[in-house]
A and B are shown apart, each in its own frame.
Chain A
Amino acid sequence: MSHKILVIADHHDGQLLDATGRAVTCAGQLGADIDVLVLAHDGQAIADAAARLAGVARVHLVDNPANEHPMAATLAPQIVAFAADGGYSHVLGPNTTFGKDLMPRVAALADVPMVTDVMAVHGPYEFDRPIYAGNAITTVRAPEGQLLVASVRCASYIAAAANGHASVAPATTEAELPDHTRFVSLEHAESDRPDLQTASKVISGGRGVGSEENFRIVYDFADKIGAAVGASRAAVDAGYVPNDMQVGQTGKIISPELYMCFGISGAIQHLAGIKDAGTIVAINKDPEAPIFEIADIGLVGDLFEIIPALDAAVS
């Protein structure tokens, strides 16, 4: 039986997010017939970007002012209706906060179970996924003969290349949209730094950095080498940095080529967010810190001496 796969596009500020391309790569392991569904307002540019993802056959754009902000209660009924009309066997979304919020609502409306965080595909209904903060990997088999809904663990996949030529077509659904959920605001820190989730280099700071002011030294070094900046939960809880910088089990799960962390001891919840990094470099003054157990390169010392020395060495 051939499978027909629908990938839900994640986008922000009129731009298609890299996470969508990663979900498309995962979809490619399930079958060759892959469509992308873009739910947006003024979403033509997003749809065009999705159409360039290699492996995508068709992009469907549901353009509706109600889709301006990604609210699960509004999007889920449209996705369920579209997937049923189109005879899709699989609906995939990325495991960004967008997908985490949305995909379970899609699954429940379709009354099917959902597979969270697909990290490897063994067959159209058999996947690996992490449990216990990534301290165990479980192979699961989902029921066949019904819609399969899953989120894709983006850190496990590289984004599909942008050299495709899929068609883009407008689409509508008969779904009834609720009016019980309203968007109020988005507080969004503007930054010229690379995006934490897609950057090839990430510099992170933890509680050991000590204060919001002290984080300046981390930002400056990151800017020097063109890295994104992340943080441990402890640093976010202490108010040194905003929540969107948190790396770990319940924050962002990332897979940069280089991950350098300063003053992070390495709670298992943090390690869960960095296991797929290419090279992990840990700098901590405590030689017993658990971060050294998984680091590729470790250096014991005071970050306030080491960062300036690193800065000088790469100048």
Chain B
Amino acid sequence: MKILVSVKRAIDYNVRIQIAPDGSGVVKNGVKHSMNPFDEIAVEQAIRWKEDGTATEVVAVAIGDDTVAEQLRTALAFGCDRAIHVKTDDDVQPLTAARVFQALAERESPDLFLMGKQAIDDDANQTGQMTAAKLGWPQATFASKIELGDGRATVTREVDAGLETLSVDLPAVVTVDLRLNEPRYLKLPNIMKAKKKPIEDMAFDELGVAAAAPIETVTTKAPPKRGGGVMVDTVDELVAKLKEKSLI
């Protein structure tokens, strides 16, 4: 079985983001970036299948400028066999990303396309579903358990009502949630080995994909602050305050 797994570079989840004073966006220069944590879970899952013999080849794919190569190297250090880097300096929104991933999937013919359920920068939660739609493939989003076999994936999904299980024919797009697995820590020998693995660079224009009409950002601002919190010292004081507000 061949698996494609997408990787996005995003500001590290531990960073407290700063908003540019002119409202143009979030400050990215000089800020630590890493692989989107949901994508890391997707990569980990693909590699576990490689290790247990379920997957024969795992290919990491990413779209973006030169810096994205760093995250593809990380994916290779996890154990991906090779990587494809679709290069563009432009901001890539989900519909455009889906068109690119469609083109890559048509070229690579994987049995499974794994993705993080959302990226923690734009929080859009769209690219997996859009890619599935473009390919006409089934989708199973928010996966916390995936079983492969018999040309099908049985996927347990974290939904508002609880845990839903779907059976989808392969090839399919599956987007992963937090509880699917816990990604490993990378060991130095694997990081060294990853440097020798191939990353295929591809210019965006080579793919024959048109960028979608973009959603423009008008301005970016800080959320309204919640202010005026107080500390109380006793349960009685707390209860008095809640009663004052008619909350209990």
Contact = CB atoms under 8 A, between A and B. Distances in A.
Interface of A: 12, 71-73, 76, 96-98, 100-105, 107-109, 111-117, 126, 130-143, 146, 178, 180-189, 197, 201, 225, 233, 236-237, 242-244, 249-250, 252, 257-258, 268-269, 275, 278-281, 292-300, 306, 309-310, 313-314
A296 B230 contact: yes
B26 A249 contact: no
B214 A113 contact: yes
- Highest count of chain A CB atoms <10 Å: which of B160, B232, B236: B160
Interface string B126-147: 1111111110111111101000
28 contacts: A97-B159, A102-B129, A104-B94, A104-B125, A104-B128, A105-B129, A108-B95, A108-B130, A111-B95, A113-B215, A114-B94, A116-B122, A131-B123, A135-B223, A137-B220, A137-B222, A180-B168, A181-B138, A242-B162, A243-B179, A244-B161, A244-B162, A258-B248, A278-B247, A280-B226, A292-B229, A313-B236, A313-B239
B165 A185 contact: yes
Given A12-B161, A98-B159, A178 B138 contact: yes
Nearest to A189: B162
Interface size class of B (residues with CB under 8 A): 35 or more
A104 to B, nearest CB: 4
Nearest to A243: B158
B226 A114 contact: no
Given A114-B94, A130-B223, A131-B122, A201 B247 contact: yes
A28 to B, nearest CB: 22
B202 interface: no
A130 B26 CA distance: 12
Contacts of A249: 120, 123
A297 B229 contact: yes
A186 B161 contact: yes
Nearest to B162: A188
